[in-house]
Structure 1
Amino acid sequence: MNLKKISYEELNSRAKEIYNFQKVSAVLADYGFATMWLNNDWEGADFIAVHVDGVTHLKVQLKGRLSFAKKYRGKNIHICFRENGETYLYPHDEVLGEVESRISDQTWVVEGKWSSNKLSKANQLLLEPYRL
């Protein structure tokens, strides 16, 4: 068999989502989590991560970048994304509480969502405890 690596940039959006899920799942396995993809978002989650301790489980929304949405508030959702080879997994509401006062974008006001296509230095520092 002659395997050839793929080019992430050439993937369609659905294929990128599955690719990122597989990469994130591999990282979470190092922390004792098994992941289960959900065919339909359940309570805002794309997948569930269950820890080997048999107690801890996370509802996770997979994103392509640092993101917040008002619709995730109060749902105990974690957001996971990859940037520059690093994986971040953060509690949505907790981190939103730290940055919401700094969000001045109309998208947040009108649509109830906000994302950043590149981590600023301030956001890198904020997310450091959530870098896996």
Structure 2
Amino acid sequence: MFKRVPYSELNSRQKENYNFHKVAGELADYGYNCLRLNDDWQGADFLACHVDGIVFLKIQLKGRMTIDKKYLGKDIHIAFLNGDDCYVYPHDEMLERILKLDKIGTSKSWLEAGAYSWPQPPIWAKDILKDYKV
């Protein structure tokens, strides 16, 4: 009755839906209820509301590790999947850590477009990402 559909066969919107549900499922184990937003409200694709009634995260869903100047100062978390691993990191904190390592400061995409992403997390990032693995 059920047949798995390869991720590669999904269109971009279907991939976004898939990724949302995977991340939401991971966060559910930590007491979060995730609410999908119809538009990028304050830069977020969804809200993660903790059962404590105090913690609410604005989360931007990405297909890869990403930083972007448009998220600065917006209290945005970035969520992405890498294989079976799920990561959720505070954007501004991650950016600060990356800049301290001087990994993007002179890249053209960072200087001109104000954004940078990695299809696969680089070796130097794996040590940082372990702090944000769900």
User: What's the C-alpha RMSD, in Å, of the aligned pairs?
Assistant: 0.7
Give, in angstroms, the shift of residue 121 of structure 1: 1.5
Where structure 1 has 5 or more consecutive residues not aligned to the other structure, the ranges are: none
Residues in 1 aligned to 2:81 and 2:119: alpha-carbon distance in whole angstroms: 11
- TM-score normalised by L of structure 2: 0.95
Report what 1:67 is aligned to: 66
Residues in 1 aligned to 2:21 and 2:107: alpha-carbon distance in whole angstroms: 32
Residues in 2 aligned to 1:18 and 1:51: alpha-carbon distance in whole angstroms: 21
Q: Residue deviations 1:87-118, cap 9 Å, x none?
A: 00000000100112320321111111100011
Q: Equivalent of 1:112, from 103, 114, 119?
A: 114
Report what 1:47 is aligned to: 46
Residues in 2 aligned to 1:25 and 1:102: alpha-carbon distance in whole angstroms: 30
* Aligned-residue identity in percent: 47
Residues in 2 aligned to 1:86 and 1:105: alpha-carbon distance in whole angstroms: 27
- TM-score normalised by L of structure 1: 0.97
**Equivalent residues in 2 for 1:10-25 (5 A)?**
10-25=9-24
Report what 2:7 is aligned to: 8
Report what 1:94 is aligned to: 93
Give the number of equivalent residue pairs: 131
Name the amino acid aligned to 2:57. Answer: L
